[in-house]
Chains A and B, each alone.
Chain A
Amino acid sequence: MTLEALYREEHGRVMAALLARVRDFALAEEAVQEAFAAAAEQWGDAPPPSPRAWLVRVATNKAIDRMRRRVKFPEVEMVELPAPEHDADVTDERLRLMFTCCHPALAPEAQVALTLRTIAGLATEEIARLFVTEPSAMAQRLVRVQKKIRDARIPYSVPAADKLAERLTAVLAVVYLVFTEGYGALRGELCDEAIRLGRLVSELLPDEPEARALLALMLLHDARRDARLVDGELVLLEDQDRSRWDRARIAEGLGALDAALAAGAYGAYALQAAIAGLHAHPPPTDWAQIVALYDLLLAAQPTPLVELNRAVALAMANGPAAGLTALDRLRFALAEVHLYHAARADLLHRLGRRDEAARAYRAALAHVVAPTERRFLERRLAELGARA
Chain B
Amino acid sequence: MQYMLLIYLDEPKAAARSQAEVAAAVAMHTPYIELLRENQRYVTSKVLAATRQGRTLRTADGKPVVTHGPFAESREQLGGFYVIDAPDLDVAIELAAQCPALQTVAVAIEIRPIARTAPIADAGELLLAFGGVPAAGDWVVLADAGSATTLRLRGGKVALTDGPFRDPITACRLAGACDIADPRPAHAIEVRPLR
Number of interface residues of A (CB under 8 A): 15
Residues of B near A154 (CB, < 8 A) are: 88-90
CA of A342 to CA of B163, assembled, Å? 39
- Could you count the A-B residue pairs with CB atoms below 8 Å apart for me: how many are there? 44
A104 touches B113 (CB 8 A): no
Interface string of B119-160 (1 = CB under 8 A from A): 000000000000000000000000110111100000000001
Closest to A106 in B: B162
Q: Given A105-B160, A106-B162, A107-B163, decide whether A155 and B90 contact each other with a Cβ distance below 8 A.
A: yes
Residues of A near B162 (CB, < 8 A) are: 105-107, 110, 148
Instruction: Pick from B87, B113, B161: contact of A152, CB below 8 A.
Output: B113
Closest to B158 in A: A104
B160 touches A153 (CB 8 A): no
Residues of B near A155 (CB, < 8 A) are: 88-90
Chain B min CB distance to A275 (Å): 28
Instruction: Pick from A104, A144, A152, A159: contact of B143, CB below 8 A.
Output: A152
What is the interface residue range for chain B against chain A?
Answer: 10 to 19
A153 touches B163 (CB 8 A): no
Instruction: Pick from B87, B144, B160, B161: contact of A151, CB below 8 A.
Output: B144
Tell whether A8 is near chain B: CB-to-CB under 8 Å.
no
Residues of A near B146 (CB, < 8 A) are: 144, 147-148, 151
Residues of A near B72 (CB, < 8 A) are: none
Residues of A near B88 (CB, < 8 A) are: 153-155
Instruction: Pick from A106, A144, A151, A159: contact of B113, CB below 8 A.
Output: A151
Residues of B near A103 (CB, < 8 A) are: 89
Which chain A residues in 130-187 approach chain B with CB under 8 Å? 144, 147-148, 151-155, 159
Closest to B151 in A: A105
| Nearest 9 CB-CB pairings of A with B | A151-B147, A107-B162, A105-B149, A155-B88, A152-B147, A153-B88, A151-B143, A104-B160, A152-B89
Binding site for A on B (CB under 8 A): 1, 87-90, 93, 111, 113, 115, 143-144, 146-149, 160-163
16 contacts between A and B (CB under 8 A): A107-B161, A107-B162, A110-B162, A147-B144, A148-B147, A151-B115, A151-B144, A151-B146, A151-B147, A152-B111, A152-B147, A152-B149, A154-B89, A154-B90, A155-B89, A159-B90
